[in-house]
Amino acid sequence: MSRSQNDVPIIIKKKKGGGHGHHGGAWKVAYADFVTAMMALFIVLWIVGQSKQVKQYVANYFKDPGAFFENTKGGGMFSGTSVTQTQQSVVEENLQRESKRLKQLASTILKQAEKDSSLQGLMGQMQMELTEEGMRIQLYESAQNVYFDVGTSHLKPEATRLIATIAHEVGKLTNKVVIEGHTDSRPYSKQDGYTNFELSADRANAARRVMSTNGMRIDQIAEVRGYADTRLRDRNRPFDETNRRISILIKFEDKSHEQSAEDTPR
C-alpha cells in the first residue's frame, strides 16, 4: 500500500549554537551610544567656536524651547524678540569695551604729554570726554596760551608737539577720526570773503596735516570740519578765548556689520 503525501513525516533539524554570541545585537546598542556621544561632542565644540550671539540663541532655546520658537515665528530661526534683545546686548557690550579702550588711550596721551615740559602750559587747556560718538579731545585757547597765531591757521610750536603726541597714540588704533575747527564770534577782519568758516576749516586742516605726519594713517581720517562760531563752547560768552579750539573726535568702531556677518547661519 502506498503512503499519501500527508502521511510523510516532517523532520526538523536544530543546530546548536557554537559560541558565536558576539554576533548578537548588543554591539549595536554600544555603537549607537558611541555615535550619540560623538555627535554631542561635536555640537559642544561647534557652540564653543561660535559668537556670543549664537551662544545666546542656543541658551534661549534650552531655557524655554516653546517661547523661543514663538518669538522667532515668521522670520526664520534667528529672528524675533529674543534676537532683538541679544543684538542690543551685543551692542552694549561693544560700547563698554570701546569706552574702556578709549579711556586707556586718554590716560596714555596724558602720560606722554606730561613727559614734555614745554607742554605744561597747554595741559590745562586739553579736555577729553566720552560722547555718544566716541572720545572727543578738545584743545581750547586761553588768554595766556594760544594754539594758533592770531587770525591765521599757523600752529604754535607747542601746539604742534601736543597734536603730534596725540596723533602718535591715535595712530595705533583702527578707529576713524574727525577733526573740527572752531572760532569765537569775532568777525574775521579780511574783506575778501574769507570768514570764520574758512579760518576754522583751515585750522582743522592744519591739525590734520600734523597728525598725518606723526603716526595717524590717512585712512583713519573720516572728516575735517569747520564750524566757525556755530558751536560755541561757552554760549554765554561768545567772544571768550575758550571758544577758539580744535576738536579731535576718535569715533567708536562700528562692529555691528561684522557681528551680523559672523552670526549669519551658513
Comparison of pLDDT for 214 and 255, the residue scoring more: 214
pLDDT in the model for residue 21? 52
pLDDT in the model for residue 250? 94
Question: Residue 78 and residue 174: Cα distance in Å, rounded?
Answer: 30
Comparison of pLDDT for 70 and 236, the residue scoring more: 236
- 67 phi/psi in degrees, rounded to 5: -65, -35
Instruction: List the domains of the chain with CATH numbers.
Output: 29-79 (no CATH), 90-256 (3.30.1330.60)
Grid-cell match 579750539, residue found: 245
Report the pLDDT averaged over residues 48-58. 76
> Full-prediction pTM beyond 0.95?
no
Distances (CA, A) of 141 to 105, 115, 126, 201, 265: 23, 21, 9, 17, 53
Among the ranges given (20-29, 67-76, 158-167, 238-247), the one the predictor scored with the smallest mean pLDDT:
67-76
Question: Residue 11 and residue 126: Cα distance in Å, rounded?
Answer: 110
pLDDT in the model for residue 73? 54
Report the pLDDT averaged over residues 147-171. 93
Report the pLDDT averaged over residues 173-188. 93
The CA-CA-CA angle for residues 7, 11, 14, to 5°, reads: 165
The SS3 call for residue 217 is coil
Please provide the DSSP assignment of 75-104 as one string: S-TT-SHHHHHHHHHHHHHHHHHHHHHHHH
Comparison of pLDDT for 72 and 117, the residue scoring more: 117
pLDDT in the model for residue 258? 45
pLDDT in the model for residue 240? 93
Among the ranges given (115-119, 139-143, 172-176, 212-216), the one the predictor scored with the smallest mean pLDDT:
115-119
pLDDT in the model for residue 108? 92
Comparison of pLDDT for 63 and 200, the residue scoring more: 200
Distances (CA, A) of 23 to 35, 37, 144: 20, 23, 98
pLDDT in the model for residue 109? 92
